[in-house]
Amino acid sequence: GAVVSQHPSWVICKSGTSVKIECRSLDFQATTMFWYRQFPKQSLMLMATSNEGSKATYEQGVEKDKFLINHASLTLSTLTVTSAHPEDSSFYICSARDLLSSGPTYEQYFGPGTRLTVT
Amino acid sequence: DAKTTQPPSMDCAEGRAANLPCNHSTISGNEYVYWYRQIHSQGPQYIIHGLKNNETNEMASLIITEDRKSSTLILPHATLRDTAVYYCIVRAFVNFNKFYFGSGTKLNVKP
């Protein structure tokens, strides 16, 4: 199946700094990517939809100025957590849809996740 | 998208079939049932999906009731590596539609 990678796999940053997480589709093109956040022992929460060449759309309650999303190419989306605080510590996961798949049966391919710890 | 209800946890003996239920009583005619699983600290992995017919692939079988209000994911011969959280997701047929994850079922496969 298709592969989605994330970098870094884990990161520790100091409170007040910004951190960027990359999501890449390795063997397919993705016009749409999705970003999720997962706190310990909880389910995945959809944060935003990243659209290549246009602005991301955010789910209700997600601060767009804090979680900056850029989808500059068909294989790369980035999530930047700005002015990070300890409560932003979480597991961030991206997913991508294959551009060439269509209709209702397409799958979403998930990345391995990035563990962010803000100290 | 329709809401799903799953038991929080289940146990299964290694080598036996694992049957994971999902209730989606408010499902609409254009909504598909998807199953994903998440092994600890990894990204979710696609398992199977279906609309109204039963489906089978190399990983699992999906049984959807005739009224489509519930479904069961069957892992025919569970192994220890199948220990994971299993998510049942209902999603409408709209391009670029999103996945909303419920709380899932933690399957514990025991030796």
Chain A residues with CB-CB distance to B57 below 8 A: none
With cut-offs at 50, 70 and 90, classify the pLDDT of residue B28: confident
Report which of residues B75 and A108 the model is more confident about. B75
With cut-offs at 50, 70 and 90, classify the pLDDT of residue B31: confident
Chain B residues with CB-CB distance to A112 below 8 A: 42-43
The pLDDT assigned to A62 comes to 96
The pLDDT assigned to A98 comes to 77
The pLDDT assigned to B97 comes to 65
Position B109 pLDDT exceeds 90: yes
Tell if the CB–CB gap between A95 and B99 is shorter than 8 Å: yes
The pLDDT assigned to A106 comes to 62
Q: Residue A32: which of B32, B96, B104 has the nearest Cβ?
A: B96
> What residues have CB less than 8 Å from B86, skipping those under 6 apart?
B6, B20, B35, B36, B37, B47, B73, B104, B105, B106, B107
Tell if the CB–CB gap between B99 and A108 is shorter than 8 Å: yes
Closest CA in chain A for residue B97: A104
Closest CA in chain B for residue A115: B41
B95 at the A interface (CB within 8 A)? Answer: yes
The pLDDT assigned to B41 comes to 86
Average pLDDT (B45-51) is: 91
Position A101 pLDDT exceeds 70: no
With cut-offs at 50, 70 and 90, classify the pLDDT of residue B1: low
The pLDDT assigned to A108 comes to 80
pLDDT one-digit tens code per residue, A30-83: 888 999 999 998 999 999 999 888 899 999 999 999 999 999 898 999 999 999
The pLDDT assigned to B30 comes to 83
Position B2 pLDDT exceeds 70: no
Report which of residues A3 and B85 the model is more confident about. B85
> In angstroms, what separates the C-alpha of A52 from chain B's closest C-alpha?
12
The pLDDT assigned to A77 comes to 95
For the ranges B15-29, B41-55, B95-109, which has the lowest average pLDDT?
A: B95-109
Average pLDDT (A89-109) is: 79
Chain A residues with CB-CB distance to B38 below 8 A: 44
Chain B residues with CB-CB distance to A44 below 8 A: 38, 44, 101
Average pLDDT, chain A: 91
Residues in A lying within 8 Å of B, measured between beta carbons:
1, 4, 6, 32, 34, 36, 43-46, 49, 91, 93, 95, 97, 102-105, 107-113, 115
Tell if the CB–CB gap between A44 and B101 is shorter than 8 Å: yes
Chain A residues with CB-CB distance to B101 below 8 A: 36, 43-46
Report which of residues B89 and A97 the model is more confident about. B89
Residue B80: DSSP 8-state:
G
* C-beta contacts of A3-7 below 8 A and 24+ residues apart: A3/A27, A3/A109, A4/A94, A4/A95, A4/A96, A4/A109, A4/A110, A4/A111, A4/A112, A4/B43, A5/A111, A5/A112, A6/A92, A6/A93, A6/A94, A6/A111, A6/A112, A6/A113, A6/A114, A6/B43, A7/A114
